Structure 1
Amino acid sequence: MTRQAYSFVRTLPPEPDRDLCVDRHYLLCASAGALRLEVQGQVWVLPPARAALIEAERLIRVSIPRPVTTASVLFDTAFTPPPPAPLTVFDLSPLARALLTECAAWGESDEPLAAYAETLFAALAAVTWRLAEQPSPVVVPAGRSPELRRALQLTEQRLGGELRFEDLAGEVGLTPRSLARRFEAEAGMTWRAVLRRLRVLRAIEELAADDTPVTTIAFTTGYASLSAFNAAFRDLTGRTPTEYRASFRP
């Protein structure tokens, strides 16, 4: 019988989209690099110092744009209650980080957990389940229809260049009015709002990847000035890009 909870660390190369489904509740943390996670028509980015809590038996789509190192914990469904949502991404608190580090000593095994280890995993679950009640706002829609998914793909490919909504509509075979309605119906927001979130999502991935200057990231994600980039980033995440990057390295 496999332990009620166990931890493991993996380093993964870049990978295209793939489906993932496990029979346990899954706490997934990136310690270096970033992943993208998609479920129920929404996409989250998972950089360092953040965690994703994924419900058991929940099919999610994972993509790895660059090499990433992850630290994960799997909880038996009888050991913890269900997570508050199928998938949530949230900031790790100092306590959660310390518990995650301590739990790393217990990997997959047929031997039962000692009382001390069981207490640690239970504490980690209690803390992260509570943190998951306040998910990250950095989420973007994935789209349901082929036209909207294509529009989102083209938008993301051209974040740093000239991008006109009218041209985008023509490329996906819709009138601007029809495409605008698709965004409202499937994404629940305008194309401009989605564009803003995609820029912040890309910026988070760039901040996690290396030490590229923040000014360079601002321009490559489509902002004409550092002040505009900082304002948009802070409005969505509550921090400046520099503060956000600093949180990756506690």
Structure 2
Amino acid sequence: MTHEAYAFARDFAAAPAAELRVDRHYLLCASQGALRLEAHGSSWVLPPARAALIAADEPILVAIPQSVKTSSVLFDVGFVPPPPAPLTVFDLSPLGRALVSECVDWPDADEPLSSYARIMFGALAAVAWRLAQDPSPVTVPAGRSPELRRALAVTNDRLAEDVRFEEIARDVGLAPRSLARRFESECGMTWTAVLRRMRVVRAIERLAAGEDSVATIAHSIGYTSLSAFNAGFRDLTGHTPTQYRATFRP
């Protein structure tokens, strides 16, 4: 029998990127730690209090940079409409969190849904599908060409350093002008803008990983000025790092 929906909670250890593809629409939530998701040339970070809505049969790459606790809700394609996009990451409202908790705690996961459970899963889908129409701005381009993907990887490895664009270009074997054109054509933004986003993503992962101070995190990702870090973080997320960390808690 094909169940209309089911849910489970699970812990995962840190792991490199691997493809995830399921035959149901998939709502993935982190309750502790953070994941990275990649699809269609973009990468997202998924910290606590956020959710990813993944369309059925959509291949995505999932990396686990640190141990995580997750809740997963899977919907049969005949039970709910298609998601608004193949992959969307968004803020999960208090109502959405409560519904996820209720669905994950449903005691008869291996049995057909009762009337009550069907209502709960249906309500969660309605809330998640609506929230998915306001996606997170915290994305980083993943690149298409091998040279640009290499440039992005090298940049990501050097976030704590005073990294220079000319050095990145040399490492990937391109002239700075040629690499700059790659960033504009494949990413739609400059290397400097991508670097800022990468640093915010790394900061979010560090904020989700533990209780390191904001100043410690800022220094670990290459900022020498706490005010510059706070401003850059707020520009992308709409919150200061301290405010953003506070949203992780129920």
Q: Which bin holds the TM-score, normalised by the shorter protein?
A: over 0.9
Instruction: Supply the AA of the counterpart residue of 2:183.
Output: F
Worse-matched range after superposition: 55-64 or 106-115:
106-115
**1:135-173 superposed Cα distances (whole Å, 9 cap, x missing partner):** 000000111111101100111111111211111111100
SS at match of 1:106: coil
* Compared CA separation, residues 66 and 110, structure 1 to 2 (3 A): closer
Partners in 2 of 1:108 and 1:176 — Cα distance?
59
Partners in 2 of 1:180 and 1:4 — Cα distance?
48
SS at match of 2:27: strand
What's the C-alpha RMSD, in Å, of the aligned pairs? 1.0
Partners in 1 of 2:163 and 2:233 — Cα distance?
20
Q: Tell me how far 1:112 sits from its aligned partner.
A: 1.4
Question: What is the match of residue 241 of structure 2?
Answer: 241
Q: Is the 1:37–1:61 contact (alpha carbons within 8 Å) kept by the matching residues of 2?
A: yes
Matched, 1:150 2:150: yes
Question: What is the match of residue 97 of structure 1?
Answer: 97
Q: Where do residues 1-250 of structure 1 align in structure 2 (5 Å cutoff)?
A: 1-106=1-106, 109-250=109-250
Q: What's the TM-score, normalizing by structure 1?
A: 0.98
Residue segments in structure 2 that go unaligned for 5+ positions in a row: none
Q: Tell me how far 1:105 sits from its aligned partner.
A: 2.4
How many pairs were matched up? 250
Q: Tell me how far 1:2 sits from its aligned partner.
A: 3.2
Instruction: Supply the AA of the counterpart residue of 1:142.
Output: A
Q: Tell me how far 1:108 sits from its aligned partner.
A: 7.5
**1:184-221 superposed Cα distances (whole Å, 9 cap, x missing partner):** 01111000000000000000000000000000101111
Q: Tell me how far 1:243 sits from its aligned partner.
A: 0.6
Partners in 2 of 1:102 and 1:144 — Cα distance?
40
Q: Tell me how far 1:240 sits from its aligned partner.
A: 0.5
Instruction: Supply the AA of the counterpart residue of 1:195.
Output: L
Q: Tell me how far 1:176 sits from its aligned partner.
A: 0.4
**1:65-86 superposed Cα distances (whole Å, 9 cap, x missing partner):** 1111100100000000000000
* Compared CA separation, residues 109 and 213, structure 1 to 2 (3 A): closer
SS at match of 1:45: strand
Q: Tell me how far 1:104 sits from its aligned partner.
A: 1.4
Q: What's the TM-score, normalizing by structure 2?
A: 0.98
